[in-house]
Chain A
């Protein structure tokens, strides 16, 4: 099966229907999205298509880019562009296999194909029978299409997998951030093309489509058992970041009728097993994957940049400004496609409130090899007025830190209401944080909208008061919902009431809140907002 010519991915049309078509369908203006059975596959399909477009048809400059944005190539032009790399996208057959080791790995014994799925229980879990929450048997039989997607998804997200089983180029479970048009029903082409960069904004030498420096499976794997076998960014072509292959894998296909357990479709070839070996390509050092946010240590500029990963609590607006805006002082580097969009492409778009393009962030939350969850969030992608950029960013950050502090006190008092020794109480309380971020999100973006309308990059007293009031209102109701909704008359009652009084006391009269009121001149307000 060739991934550039076969009908292997499903697409959703404007009228809601779905069809399995060749990849050239992305140029069809009636196609609005991929239609895939899993969220991680959906995200992987975007990265596959974006990587491919960037590899074979990157626009020369932003004008070129914009023209293509408005008028997608027709399907035959797209097919012609794909022929250049067709040889690298065979899933099976005699030549190199897409995202699979050149070596047949005959020495490795086959393992169940479900191992490609990131949340599937690993070998030891199966042996020890400890798969209590993540169940075995989620995918014993896959169609070649789903096996290909599972393989690609694993290679781009690969978590640590035991000794010598390398993580992906961005580390295990990286966040991916993409730009989406404001309109949900924009064509898939526009959704993808927004994330393709022109050769002016991202300069690199023309790729050699037959080189393993671009597609690592075209050459021998660099076995990473011994020192000195690591792969640094300067060892490969920059575009190889889309095609990195940390795991050594060979899919095993059988000519047999079967039902794919993911797509639930009948297929005549099935994949039940694969071979894998450790010590694959080991990507180290600083990479700047174009779809991922990185952090650096501003005090130690020589240290490697670290990609941002999924973390417990999900992707909330508390990360929104980091994911959107470059902040050298804090060492925050948004994904290249986000930077490129705000810098070069934004002039073609409206940024009126409510019409702004969207920032889409998604990824696994991994605890080493264990998948804790999959996160998926969207935020408005906002352009800050360049003249006031620093002021605006500072203001957003200080509103953000106020929220962090309110949350800290809220969480502390909820724990004080729950436990006799709150400081010693261990356990995951991230659901408190999660609820707080979710409940305050609307107010946050209203505050941001008010900030963007402010003439000098400072919040007006009214808007600052509204934000403070929203935070304290939500902190109190969150406390009440979690600590007071079952108020039994017992000795816990006093503890709970005392904790609530601590919280309201802090919100009303703490030094921090008084300082905030002073800084934003809330005393000038004549009208009580509360």
Chain B
């Protein structure tokens, strides 16, 4: 068991999580699944526009983001000056996530071993490039690429929280404790998932 994010689930990871999940499910799930959850399907244009948005700024202009933003509780929206851009980036990235999978966290889904090649789905190098992203645009682009590498399957709330925290840290709101920093949390989860393959290939 990891001591990073597992400990806080199944409680909500962040403000606005349940609104976000309903919004994402409305875009991704089948009609039957949505009916069971009592959620109205989202117009297909939401997802189409978001998928075309190449930057967080572009995602900001979409109808899909607007729908999400208005559905969020005040506590999530009035958080910080950069909150809107962070949520827009989040909307853009999530439009590529097709399926919630059983990984413990977003970073763990990247480090998960692909049994065909006995290597992590995302290589150490690519993972480190994500960790090295210094601008929101770069960060956004790299996330897209990684989502594609895991075939659109990851842990949605963990990814969402990671993106929000990344924006906080990017704007100078560093976590006081190192183990709360997003880079450290991601690294712990990624390497824990990837460890068995990495050890074999390194030694």
Contact = CB atoms under 8 A, between A and B. Distances in A.
A488 B128 CA distance: 9
Most buried by B among A477, A484, A485, A489: A489
Interface residues of A, number: 18
Interface in A482-530: 484-485, 487-490, 493-494, 496-498, 500-501, 504
Contacts of A477: 177, 179
Contact of A493 (B131, B179, B192): B131
B198 A494 contact: yes
A493 B107 CA distance: 14
Nearest to B7: A530
Of A493, A498, A501, A504, most B-chain CB atoms within 10 Å: A493
Interface string A157-168: 000000000000
Interface in B74-130: 124, 127-130
B61 interface: no
B123 to A, nearest CB: 12
B178 A481 contact: yes
B192 A501 contact: yes
Nearest to B188: A497
Contacts of A474: none
A497 B187 contact: yes
Contact of B131 (A489, A500, A501): A489
A202 B42 CA distance: 91
Contacts of B128: 489-490, 493
Contact of B184 (A484, A494, A501): A484
Contacts of B191: 493-494, 497-498, 501
A125 B192 CA distance: 53
A501 B188 contact: yes
Contacts of A476: 179
Contact of B177 (A480, A487, A496): A480
In this complex, the member of B178, B183, B187, B198 whose beta carbon has the largest number of chain A beta carbons within 10 angstroms is B178
A87 to B, nearest CB: 64
B192 to A, nearest CB: 7
Contacts of B184: 480, 484, 487
User: DSSP class of A's interface residues: helix, strand, loop or mixed?
Assistant: helix
B131 A480 contact: no
Contact of A489 (B3, B132, B179, B195): B132
Contacts of B132: 488-489
Nearest to A494: B191
Nearest to B190: A497
Contacts of B192: 497, 501
A516 B129 CA distance: 43
Interface string B2-14: 0100000000000
Contacts of B3: 504
Contacts of B187: 487, 493, 496-497
Contacts of A493: 128, 131, 187, 191
B187 to A, nearest CB: 5
Contacts of A497: 187-188, 191-192
Contacts of A500: 188
A497 B177 CA distance: 15
A488 B129 CA distance: 10
B188 A480 contact: no
Contacts of A496: 187
A476 B7 CA distance: 16
Interface string A272-283: 000000000000
B181 interface: yes
Contact of A498 (B131, B177, B183, B195): B195
A16 to B, nearest CB: 37
A480 B178 contact: yes
Nearest to A501: B192
Contacts of A490: 128
A488 B183 CA distance: 9
Given A497-B188, A500-B188, A501-B188, A487 B181 contact: yes
Nearest to B180: A480
Contacts of A488: 132
Contacts of A480: 177-179, 184
Interface in B186-201: 187-188, 191-192, 195, 198
Given A484-B178, A487-B131, A493-B128, 19 more contacts: A476-B179, A477-B179, A480-B178, A481-B178, A487-B178, A487-B187, A489-B128, A489-B129, A489-B130, A489-B132, A494-B124, A494-B198, A496-B187, A497-B188, A497-B191, A497-B192, A500-B188, A501-B191, A501-B192
8 contacts: A477-B179, A480-B179, A487-B184, A489-B130, A489-B132, A494-B124, A497-B191, A501-B188
Interface of B: 3, 124, 127-132, 177-179, 181, 183-184, 187-188, 191-192, 195, 198
Task: Please list the 6 inter-chain residue pairs (A to B) with the smallest Cβ-Cβ separation, ordered nearest first.
Answer: A489-B131, A489-B128, A480-B178, A484-B178, A497-B191, A489-B132
